[in-house]
Amino acid sequence: MGDINEIRMQVMWNRLISVVEEQALTLLRTAFSTSVREAGDLSAGVYNAKGEMLAQAVTGTPGHVNTMAEAVLHFIAEIPREEMYPGDTYVTNDPWKGTGHLHDITMVSPSFKGDRLIGFFACTAHVVDVGGRGFGADGKSVYEEGIQIPIMKFAERGVVNKDLLKILRVNVREPDQVIGDFFSLAACNDVGHRRLIEMLNEVGYEDLDTLGDFILSRTHAATMERIAGLPKGSWSNEMLTDGYDEPIKLAAKVTIADDGVNVDFSGTAAVSRWGINVPLIYTKAYACYALKCVVAPDIPNNAASLAVFSVSSPTNILNAEHPAPVSVRHVIGHIVPDLVLGALAQALPGKILAEGAAALWNVHISVRPVAGTPGRRAEVLMFNSGGMGARPDLDGLSSTAFPSGVHTMPIEATEHTGPIVIWRKELRPDSGGDGKYRGGLGQVIEIAPAEGHEFDFSAMFDRITTPARGRAGGGDGAPGSARLDDGTRLRPKGWQHVPAGRRLMLELPGGGGFGDPAERSREARAEDLSKGYVTGKRS
């Protein structure tokens, strides 16, 4: 029977993952914000009564998943057990207790079996607006970035907090959509809870303890086995990123010990005046993601697989404290994996991919008719990706999000959301760094306001002055650029204007190459030319 029990546990583990997958799907189906429904910017997970994450949905992006893993502990700390009731849902958008900026709403629901608290469900999604200055890097403190919702009850015993909804409604630009998303977040936790109870009833368990212990102990053992196979010691890496108005230095020291891996960010630049700062919880999410990709890619993500990774940092741009502005924390956050991987590459030479475009090139467009002409106003958000770094035995992926896990939106759908025309969205030849394996290509995008319109846009770009570096002799990827079609250069961050009749021209960065270019095969070079990935015109 011991054998049979073992198998039953394995099966229930799979079931738990499918429970949270169902939770995430409910969110995708009902969400309003494009970043959730078209681009998958969300996460969902289940926790034991102590707040340890047992399983997460495969659907989701690391910045949400790994931050949310810790968020539940903050909720438990602030809401006393005796004030938790069946039917409750808790909420926050605290950047330091949630997922790093105000636009992400995290909801946590206690799961009761009878009157016994057996665990929690949590989910996170990026909503379309939180008031303040809008999604951009121009705020001087978090107070300018929008409404702050401390950890509180969204619903108690199933009854929604109407006061919170009233306050929200007057504080955000798109109240219907934002409130709609609050409801869909709460609904997805409910679905998870119902499925969990059905599963426990079916197998005759009273709580999650036995299964949770099995999951965490198995995962811990498997992860420690992987750590044991790594070389021990410390390795450091530094890099520059564009910043808002001046380049910013990032530094990391990775220490692999017998009991885990630590990343320390001492030596990183100070907190910025602009909204590009990163709360440590978000820095940690992406540092852990990078480590896990290398150390234990096939081990399910949960509290035990994350527990072997730790981060430390003095206060700086990667550990910005309240009330620093953090709206666009994802740009530097997305670069953290390249920073960590660069250190790991010294520990594991020949095994780590080159640097890539890293940060998504998000464009938030606020379009309106030119004064005195008819037309319509709209807010349009696009996610776009440059090239990924070349791998030790493969070319880099072109125009593919990494480390983010989101999708782009179809341009036909985007043009329906507002009066803009996307004239080009195409691979960018000659942008991949040369090497035995070539870096992934960036892309070229041209966006114009529709006839009789003009727009402002919030730039959230990087790798314009600091290209992705090649590895093991590989060349750098091409840097990005942002300008108007009349040649006017634009800044990588902040709100800027595109007048009627002009086009915004974006060239997204390519990934770095891997290995000596002299070793690139003749066939690969011929294919690069025949497919036009390389034009042969670049010197």
Partner 1 sequence: MTSRHQIRLGADIGGTFTDIALDVGGTLYSTKVLTNYAAPEQAILDGIEIVVRDAGIAPGDIDIVIHGTTLATNALIERRGARTALVTTEGFRDVLEMRTENRFEQYDLSLVLPKPLIPREDRFTVKGRMDAQGCELQPLDEAALEAIAETIATGSFGAIAIGFIHSYMNPAHEKRAREILSRKLSIPISISSEVSPQMREFERFNTVCANAYVRPQMADYLSRLQVRLKEMGAQCPVFMIHSGGGLISVETAAEFPVRLVESGPAGGAIFAADIARRFDLNRVVSYDMGGTTAKVCLIENFEPQTARTFEVARTYRFCKGSGMPISIPVIEMIEIGAGGGSIAWVDAMGRIQAGPESAASEPGPACYQRGGARPAITDADLVLGKLDADNFAGGKIKLSVDNARAAIARDVGGKLSLEPQAAAFGIVEVVDENMANAARVHAVEHGKNISDNTMIAFGGAAPLHAARLCEKLGVDRCLIPRGAGVGSAIGFLKAPFGYEALTSKIMRLSKFDAASINTMLDQLKATAEGFVRAGTDGAITREVTAFMRYAGQGWEIPVPMPDRAFVDADKTAIEKAFKERYAQFFGRAVEGPEVEFVTWSVKTQDIRPEGEKVALDAGGQPASGHAMRMVFDPASGKELETAIVPRDTLPAGARIAGPAVIVERETSTVVTSPFDAVIQADGTILLVRKGL
Site for partner 1 in 488-507 (CB under 8 A): none
Residue number, 139 or 333, with CB nearest to partner 1: 333
Residue number, 41 or 138, with CB nearest to partner 1: 41
CA angle (99, 113, 45) in 5-degree steps:
25
Size of the site for partner 1 (CB under 8 A): 87
By CB under 8 A, is residue 531 in contact with partner 1?
yes
How are beta strands 260-264 and 309-312 bridged, if at all?
parallel
By CB under 8 A, is residue 170 in contact with partner 1?
no
CA angle (496, 433, 466) in 5-degree steps:
40
Determine the Cα–Cα distance for residues 240 and 282; give it in Å rounded to an integer: 19
Quote the radius of gyration of the chain (alpha carbons, Å): 23
Q: How far is the CB of 175 from partner 1 (least distance, A)?
A: 7
The residue within the footprint of partner 1, chosen from 399, 431, 466, 481 (CB under 8 A), is 399
Nearest by Cα to 211 from 47, 68, 78: 47
Residue number, 151 or 293, with CB nearest to partner 1: 293
Subset of 190-249 contacting partner 1 (CB under 8 A): 191, 195, 198, 202, 218, 222
What are residue 405's phi and psi, to 5 degrees? -105, 20
Q: How far is the CB of 148 from partner 1 (least distance, A)?
A: 23
| Window of 4-12, 235-243, 258-266, 319-327 that interacts with partner 1 by CB under 8 A | 4-12
Q: Give the CA count within 13 Å in the CB-facing half-sphere of 288.
A: 30
By CB under 8 A, is residue 22 in contact with partner 1?
yes
Residue number, 142 or 285, with CB nearest to partner 1: 285
Residue number, 25 or 147, with CB nearest to partner 1: 25
Task: Check: CB of residue 359 under 8 Å from CB of residue 330.
Answer: yes
The residue within the footprint of partner 1, chosen from 166, 416, 497, 538 (CB under 8 A), is 416
Residue number, 11 or 270, with CB nearest to partner 1: 11
By CB under 8 A, is residue 462 in contact with partner 1?
no
The residue within the footprint of partner 1, chosen from 115, 259, 412, 523 (CB under 8 A), is 412
Determine the Cα–Cα distance for residues 390 and 154; give it in Å rounded to an integer: 45
Residue number, 251 or 382, with CB nearest to partner 1: 382
Residue number, 78 or 485, with CB nearest to partner 1: 485
| Window of 113-121, 255-263, 393-401, 466-474 that interacts with partner 1 by CB under 8 A | 393-401
By CB under 8 A, is residue 189 in contact with partner 1?
no
By CB under 8 A, is residue 376 in contact with partner 1?
no
Q: How far is the CB of 238 from partner 1 (least distance, A)?
A: 22
Residue number, 386 or 479, with CB nearest to partner 1: 386
Residue number, 97 or 292, with CB nearest to partner 1: 292
By CB under 8 A, is residue 413 in contact with partner 1?
yes
Q: How far is the CB of 10 from partner 1 (least distance, A)?
A: 6
Using CA atoms, how far residue 23 sits from 46, 87, 192, 423, in Å, is 10, 16, 5, 37
Q: In 460-489, which positions are buried (b, 16+ CB within 10 angstroms) versus exposed (e)?
A: bbbbbebbbbbbbebbbbbbbbbebeeeee
Determine the Cα–Cα distance for residues 403 and 531; give it in Å rounded to an integer: 27
Subset of 105-134 contacting partner 1 (CB under 8 A): 128
Q: How far is the CB of 315 from partner 1 (least distance, A)?
A: 30
Token representation of residue 305:
């697989």
Subset of 432-451 contacting partner 1 (CB under 8 A): 443, 446, 450
Residue number, 210 or 312, with CB nearest to partner 1: 210
Residue number, 22 or 209, with CB nearest to partner 1: 22
By CB under 8 A, is residue 331 in contact with partner 1?
no
The alpha-helical segments, DSSP class H, found in 424-536 are 522-530
The residue within the footprint of partner 1, chosen from 177, 268, 302, 313 (CB under 8 A), is 177
Rounded to the nearest 10°, the torsion over CA 513, 440, 358, 269 is 30
Determine the Cα–Cα distance for residues 82 and 79; give it in Å rounded to an integer: 8
Determine the Cα–Cα distance for residues 76 and 80; give it in Å rounded to an integer: 7
**Sign of the torsion angle spanned by Cα atoms 14, 286, 386, 61:** positive
Task: Check: CB of residue 192 under 8 Å from CB of residue 23.
Answer: yes
Q: How far is the CB of 94 from partner 1 (least distance, A)?
A: 26
Subset of 274-303 contacting partner 1 (CB under 8 A): 292-294, 297-300
Determine the Cα–Cα distance for residues 499 and 447; give it in Å rounded to an integer: 12
Subset of 25-64 contacting partner 1 (CB under 8 A): 25-26, 28-34, 37-38, 40, 58, 62
Q: Which residues lie closer than 8 Å to 202 by C-beta, 6 or more apart?
A: none
Q: How far is the CB of 20 from partner 1 (least distance, A)?
A: 11
Determine the Cα–Cα distance for residues 491 and 331; give it in Å rounded to an integer: 14
CA 281 to chain centre: 12
The residue within the footprint of partner 1, chosen from 106, 272, 385, 481 (CB under 8 A), is 385
Task: Check: CB of residue 271 under 8 Å from CB of residue 253.
Answer: no
The residue within the footprint of partner 1, chosen from 95, 279, 405, 470 (CB under 8 A), is 405
By CB under 8 A, is residue 159 in contact with partner 1?
no
Q: How far is the CB of 366 from partner 1 (least distance, A)?
A: 16
Task: Check: CB of residue 483 under 8 Å from CB of residue 448.
Answer: no
